[in-house]
Amino acid sequence: MIELDKVRNQIDQIDMELLALFEKRMEKVLEIGEYKRKNRLPVFNKARELEVLEKNIGRLENKDFQNEAKDFFNKVMEISRDLQRKHIIKETGDGFLSSENISKYHSCGLDKEITIGYQGQPGSFSQEALAQYFGTEVDTTNVGEFEDIFKALERNEIDYGVIPIENSSTGGIAEVYDLLKKYGFYIVGEKCIKVEHNLVGLKGTKLNEICEVYSHPQAFKQCREFLKNYLDFRLIPFKNTATSAKYINEDKSKNKAAICSKKAAELYDLEIIKENINYNKKNYTRFIIIGKNLEINGLSNKISIVTTTAHTPGALYRILEYFHKNNLNMMKLESRPILDRSWEYFFHIDFSGNLHDDSVKRCIEEIIENSTYFKLLGNYVGDRVN
């Protein structure tokens, strides 16, 4: 049997040494944060973090602790990023968020040749959002999964990504919120697209011939009232509405149909059997444009953040109170679970304002002071729905 008190005393001594080293590390983290602020560099540096992990995990004498050591360093680096962001936000008067830090793109055109990525096939609503936001004169590439957009941006294969984040009928897309947290990229713009779903098939297909319907799960949800009238339909989820249309075109079966846009139906030479079958006739999907760097200008009027609070009564209320106190309109509140802490949550918040405004600076500083985690996701021009 070990002498419990003796071992606990040894752990106390180790904790004191760890705390002293932690303090030294945070001081160096702030020095690097100041360098990033002055040189307008992004806080998140994936290559550097992978280098830190590889270098330090390799030094372990007891290899049984590799996974735990990886978790430890990941957490330390997450804390370091948060500290740098807090420092940068508090030092806004020195130009990092000044009016001179203009976005790299403008509504009148792009400053340089860029490549934009979107998820899905040509003819998808994502491609439509891309075209409406960036125009049709940019290079584009499409990928299969939401996370592929983030991976392509991380590898510098694209300059920006266009990805859906919420629908006016079915709410937020949880996976996208989680990916924003995982990769640490910024929201630099948004575009809202009116979504009208149509039941489509091969030319000449009759409604009573259809046995199977293919589409994205979100489309099924948005068309559920229509589909209740056809309980014999077998609903088969696909990655994308346009992918579903492409499949029907290739399969050549009149027993199969897809739910997609009119544009996708035209692109894949399909006939509309029933049009506008979504139950909400004001059905919009909000797409965000993501990039590696924070980009703002004087027109930016919408801010997105993610934060966590202490798991105590009234903690979230105090955070939300700061919006009222500073006369800022909160537009959205979305919660996502913290994976390693049951019944605790990240809170994604959208609110009106520009980071140059004193009221916004005060609000963010107050939130940071009362948060256990904070990340600025972006300050961009919000898109209005007519």
What pLDDT tens digit does each residue of the chain (386 aa) get?
A: 578 888 999 999 999 999 999 999 999 999 998 888 777 676 767 778 888 888 888 888 898 898 899 889 888 988 888 788 777 766 643 333 333 333 333 333 444 578 999 998 899 999 999 999 998 888 999 998 999 999 999 999 999 999 999 999 889 999 999 999 889 899 999 999 999 999 999 999 999 999 999 999 989 999 999 999 999 999 999 988 999 999 999 999 999 999 999 999 999 999 999 999 999 988 999 999 999 888 887 889 999 999 998 878 888 898 999 999 999 999 999 999 988 778 888 999 999 999 889 899 899 988 988 888 888 999 999 998 76
- Which tokens go with 285? 């999907």
Residues 6 or more apart whose Cβ sits within 8 Å of residue 190: 286, 287, 288, 289, 302, 380, 381, 382, 383
Q: Distance between CA atoms of 73 and 301, rounded to whole angstroms?
A: 36
Q: How far is Cα of residue 49 from the mean position of the Cα atoms in its chain?
A: 20
User: Are 377 and 344 spatial neighbours (Cβ–Cβ below 8 Å)?
Assistant: no
Fold classification of 198-274 (topology level):
D-Maltodextrin-Binding Protein; domain 2 (3.40.190)
- Which tokens go with 159? 């300059």
Give the DSSP H or E segment for 246.
helix 241-251
Q: What is the DSSP letter of 93?
A: G
Instruction: Report the SS3 class of residue 288.
Output: strand
- Which tokens go with 359? 């009221």
pLDDT of residue 91: 62
Which residue type occupies 239?
A: K
Among residues 182, 126, 146, 167, the alpha carbon closest in space to that of 332 is found at: 167
Q: What is the DSSP letter of 97?
A: T
Note the residue count of the chain: 386
Q: Distance between CA atoms of 251 and 268, rounded to whole angstroms?
A: 12
Helices marked H in 91-122 — which ranges?
none
Domain ranges, ordered by start, for the chain = 1-90, 198-274
pLDDT of residue 97: 39
Instruction: Report the SS3 class of residue 369.
Output: helix
Q: Distance between CA atoms of 219 and 317, rounded to whole angstroms?
A: 35
- Return the active site residues: 285, 287
pLDDT of residue 241: 93
pLDDT of residue 104: 37
Q: How far is Cα of residue 287 from the mean position of the Cα atoms in its chain?
A: 10
Please calculate the CA angle 96-100-105 and round it to the nearest 5 degrees. Answer: 100
pLDDT of residue 96: 36
- Which tokens go with 139? 């290079």
- Burial (CB count within 10 angstroms: exposed 0-12, middle 13-18, buried 19+), residue 110: middle
Which residue type occupies 340?
A: D
pLDDT of residue 1: 59
User: Are 288 and 160 spatial neighbours (Cβ–Cβ below 8 Å)?
Assistant: no
pLDDT of residue 89: 64
Q: Distance between CA atoms of 161 and 191, rounded to whole angstroms?
A: 12
Q: Distance between CA atoms of 173 and 325, rounded to whole angstroms?
A: 30
pLDDT of residue 248: 97
What is the dotted CATH code of the domain comprising 1-90? 1.20.59.10
User: Are 250 and 306 spatial neighbours (Cβ–Cβ below 8 Å)?
Assistant: no
As a dihedral over the C-alpha atoms of residue 51, residue 180, residue 103, residue 351, rounded to 10 degrees, the angle is: -140
